[in-house]
Amino acid sequence: MTNQRYQAIKSIFLEVQDLTASDRTACLDRLCEGDSEIREAVQRLLSAHDTADDPLSQAFDAADVPMPTQIERYRVLGVLGVGGMGVVYRAEQENPKRSVALKVVRPGLMTRQMLRRFDYETQVLGRLHHPGIAQIYEAGTTQTERGPQPFFAMELVEGQPIVQHCEDGALETRERLALLVKVCQTVEHAHQKGVVHRDIKPGNILVDATGQPKILDFGIARLTDQDVNVTTIQTNVGQLMGTVPYMSPEQISGRLTDVDTRSDVYALGVLMYEMLAGRNPHDLSGTSLIEAARIISDVEPLPMSNIDPTFRGDLDTIVSKAMAKMRELRYQTASELAGDLERYLRDEPITARPPGTVYLMRKFARRNKGLVAGLSAAFVILIAGVIGMSVLAYSLNESQKKASDEAEQARIQAATATHAQEFLTSLFSKWDRRQNPGDPLTLPQVLERGVKTIMQSLSSEPQMAAALLGTMSEVYRNVGEYDRAVELAQQSLDLYVSTCGEKSEEVAASRSVLAGALHSAGSSLEAEQQHRTSLALWEVLAGHESEQAARALGNIAVVLSSLKRFDEAEVLLTEALAIHQRVGTVPLEKTAYLMSDLADIISWQERFAEAEAMYLDVLTRLRAVHGQEHPRIANALNSLGGLYLDLGRIDEARVALEQSAAMRERLVGPDDPYLLHTKTNIAFLYAQTNQKERAARLMDEVLAARLNLYSGDHMDVAISLNNAGGFHRSLGDLDKAEDLLRRSVAMRRRLVDSGQIAEVQIAPAQSTLADVLERKGALDEAESLYRENLVIRRADDEGGLNEAKGLHNLGAFLGRHGQYQEARPLLVKALDIRRAKYPPTHYNIANSLMALARTYRGEGDHETSVPMYEEALAIYQKGRPEGHRSITNAHRSLGEAYESVGQHAEALAQFRIVQDLVEQHESDDLARRIDSRSDIARILIAIDGQEEARSLLKMNLDDSSVEPIDAERVSRVACEYADFLRVEQEYEGCHEVLTAAYDTVMARAGTEEGAGDALEPQRSIIEGLIRLYAEWEGRQDQGQIWQERLASMPEVVAEEDQ
């Protein structure tokens, strides 16, 4: 923020702070002149200003309330401290005998918000178990004259604030740093548990008599105290949280969604500065809140070496990196900061170096907001990659530490960092429209110039060229240029092999980059091989019990899951997470990434309860590290939304998916390839909420985007072809569905032939195509596909769920077409596998029961089918939301089974439930409404409920004449009502109904659209007329005419026999 903008913000704030809300809005419209950045800054200051007079934000005196003598089993001895939320007493517990700190909420402050805060602190402390954190012993509630009073008892820490301890003990610099390392390790433990402190300061860190620092007040933002040096403010949205001099720029600016673990790292940097230099980095005494915000956000602190020259060099660098204004430039974890402090104490090179290039990038981004916003993913990866090369160039691995020529190592590293900075500066200067007003380059042009620069200027520095080519490969991969990403990754690997040797860390990492590019390009089997080679190298170079080996295991698992090899993938990811647990120092976000991948695999295996719990845990961890918005958070939300779709939890799915899509679009832009995954899930959301046309349109958009994204065959395109085909099938457009599905199957076969995917990945599109062909009457080809599908699935997973799916699909097909003897053993085996593999209430068990029950009914064994339908319905009701079509269908099938065994009352009850469900949840589906009434009418006729039956059948006839339905259903509705009238001997009415229906069907037959589906409906109506005239006295001659017409009609044959 420039001083000029700061002055503008300050001036506007002072002018509007005392106005009413409505006057403020008008005044801000006038003064901010459309500058959203200034307006947002003023709004944050106004939010903080408005809460300053809140009674909860006022400090209070301990003398306001008399000190109790006893709280439950604790004898109160005195007051240790008073804060905005309550009082901390020194107390004594009788059994076991010990002194404790007893924290209570003041009765007068027990608002719901305050109780939530107090309960939150209790929960947080209960999760943290570390020698550097005061342990909680008990939490409870005691009754007082003013009502219930929550309290918790915790370890009593007797010691000095950490800075005072250092001063009173006259500790040397190295002793102070060793003490700070312990604090960092404690903070890292909390971060690993998903807890961000948000108020790290000397007063919250006491050093006990053994020299162990103890951190207090974890997770609690205290309320206002005496002055700006000890101010904490309420934690409502948009308000500040923490103690001002120790706040990071994102905290002091009120951007609470940006506050994460790196905000604690900033506070640790301030603490380090104060422990070494004896003063706070910024002198904020006597400053206003807005002035303090400006200083912390924009003013660089005086280097510690200006106070004491002995701090020049590494210590200056470490504290500067910890306190970087931009979160991405700080140490990303407290353990990284501790690591550099420990390296300093061991006289080893530190990793931190001044990131000068990034400030250039930041200024560039501000000058080119529109361009950068649309290309943010590439921009971030490019910066992060090259910064990473600069930082890693200074980090000596174990083999380098043992090298004899340390001076040469240092020279190479320094040159590498310099080249990285110069390359990035040059590349972005070409992209900068201010410097090149006549040559506004596109991102692809900039990237290709970057590659050319690498190859031309770094021919004498092959390792640096290899590093930057690897980074450029990642950029190309992120923007969807997968073939180019593979090409550059291969060039990078070749350079590393020639300069570093095959068995080197550089080659191990480079093979992983190549594997990622190959996987994105659709070459999954080749990607698996590269990842396995990388794993083998890491196990030799770093050992199996290493973060690198765990990452390689996770990478292999992701590829295996894309090949549907879920069991193998789960084993690898479980081992990777176990390695993280055993290593103990892996950053929180990296563990969260592995957990997210494992949750995906568990979800794909339909173990939904496990997957949901894991996704929620992942989101908590990621938000603790990255704040509220990050591409990985968007990915996790998308996966969670997809899971909720599978569970039928539509509202939760909608929220998660919409959040994911919006976040992806904000962070990366509308052309983000990963956004298409979320749009696919949203299309399925539309389909599940009966928005079939909208679902098909969105899926067509996704397909078009992927066809534009990939130049050749790719699994993502094949998947979209399959999905689009499925949606057009649901709309009744079987010809288009068939075309899309044939293209999907053909593309998958080509990908199998080229070794890019496994044969089993043909199966989903193949079975969907078979279903469409069955609907079109091409039964021979459909059956052939179902049989081939079973062979493929069985070869991949004999005795497993994939084989069960193939058995179910073929068995259900055969059952639908009367081949019951062959269908039944297939369906029985599918059910047996599913019962063995799934929990007892899994919906696929219900699907198998439904298909098998239909087969028994087809064989005439209605009694056996009834309990199967009953069990299936019970399963659906437990796992599906009310109104889900599977529940409605199960009620109807059970009603039909009851009807077949003569249990008419039970059948009628089921059919009435179906009618209610259809009216509530599928009222726009005329065919379903008609079917539900027909079922009820049929039972009513059997039990002498003619009047209601007449009403329902007439209602069906009226609806069919108003809303367009297919010829088959026109015929059926007319024949049902006509048969009812004939039995009632209302022959005139029966005649009118049938002849009108015949005219309607014939008119449809005269159209190109309806010509193919009118023969059978005509035949049904004619047969109804023949029955009528056979009973209608004096009309037998007309019956003979219709008999002759029926005899002259062509036979209805299947499409493949024509």
CA distance 242 to 252: 8
**How would you class 192 by CB atoms within 10 Å of its CB: exposed for 0-12, middle for 13-18, buried for 19 or more?**
buried
CA distance 325 to 321: 9
- Position 946 pLDDT exceeds 60: yes
CA distance 328 to 359: 12
Alpha helices (runs of H) in 299-405, residue ranges in sequence order: 304-307, 314-322, 334-345, 356-367, 369-374, 376-393, 398-401
Task: For residue 963, name the pLDDT band (cuts at 50, 70, 90).
Answer: low
Q: Report if pTM > 0.85.
A: no
So what's the pLDDT on residue 401?
Answer: 41
CA-based angle 111:117:122, to the nearest 5?
125
Helix (H) or strand (E) holding 870: helix 862-879
Task: For residue 1021, name the pLDDT band (cuts at 50, 70, 90).
Answer: very high
Q: Classify residue 91 by its DSSP letter.
A: E
Highest mean pLDDT among 23-37, 57-71, 408-422, 854-868: 854-868
List the chain domain ranges. Answer: 3-50, 64-155, 157-302, 966-1058
Higher pLDDT, 1055 or 71: 71
Residues 6+ apart with CB under 8 A from 96: none
The arrangement of secondary structure in 64-155, i.e. its CATH architecture, is 2-Layer Sandwich (3.30)
Highest mean pLDDT among 22-31, 149-158, 890-899: 890-899
pLDDT digits (tens, 9 = 90+) for 556-598: 999 998 887 888 999 999 999 999 888 877 777 888 889 989 9
Among the ranges given (160-169, 588-597, 800-809), the one the predictor scored with the smallest mean pLDDT: 588-597
Alpha helices (runs of H) in 966-1049, residue ranges in sequence order: 967-983, 987-1005, 1015-1031, 1036-1048
CA distance 497 to 499: 6
- Evaluate whether 897 touches 862 at the Cβ level (below 8 Å): yes
Task: For residue 881, name the pLDDT band (cuts at 50, 70, 90).
Answer: confident
CATH code assigned to 157-302 = 1.10.510.10
So what's the pLDDT on residue 254?
Answer: 66
Question: DSSP string of 845-864?
Answer: HHHHHHHHHHHHHHTT-HHH
- Name the CA radius of gyration of the chain, rounded: 36
Q: Span 259-278, mean pLDDT?
A: 93
Report the SS3 class of residue 724: helix
Helix (H) or strand (E) holding 144: strand 136-144
Among the ranges given (73-87, 160-174, 265-279), the one the predictor scored with the smallest mean pLDDT: 73-87
The residue assigned the tokens 């501790």 is: 338
pLDDT digits (tens, 9 = 90+) for 617-675: 999 888 888 888 888 899 999 999 999 988 878 889 999 999 999 998 888 777 777 89
- 359-365 LR contacts (CB < 8 Å, sep 24+): 360/424, 360/425, 360/428, 361/424, 361/428, 362/326, 364/428, 364/431, 364/432
- Position 51 pLDDT exceeds 50: no
Alpha helices (runs of H) in 563-649, residue ranges in sequence order: 566-583, 588-604, 608-626, 631-647
Task: For residue 36, name the pLDDT band (cuts at 50, 70, 90).
Answer: confident
So what's the pLDDT on residue 21?
Answer: 66
- Position 966 pLDDT exceeds 90: no
Mean pLDDT of the chain: 81
CA distance 505 to 502: 9
Among the ranges given (644-648, 741-745, 816-820, 831-835), the one the predictor scored with the smallest mean pLDDT: 644-648
Angle between helices 462-478 and 376-393 in degrees, nearest 10: 160
Task: For residue 910, name the pLDDT band (cuts at 50, 70, 90).
Answer: very high
Q: Classify residue 69 by its DSSP letter.
A: S
CA distance 373 to 1007: 53
Provide, rounded to the nearest whole percent, the portion of the chain with pLDDT above 70: 79
So what's the pLDDT on residue 987?
Answer: 93
**How would you class 634 by CB atoms within 10 Å of its CB: exposed for 0-12, middle for 13-18, buried for 19 or more?**
buried
CA-based angle 498:502:504, to the nearest 5?
105
So what's the pLDDT on residue 711?
Answer: 74
So what's the pLDDT on residue 60?
Answer: 38
Among the ranges given (118-122, 155-159, 735-739), the one the predictor scored with the smallest mean pLDDT: 118-122
So what's the pLDDT on residue 616?
Answer: 92
Provide, rounded to the nearest whole percent, the portion of the chain with pLDDT above 90: 42
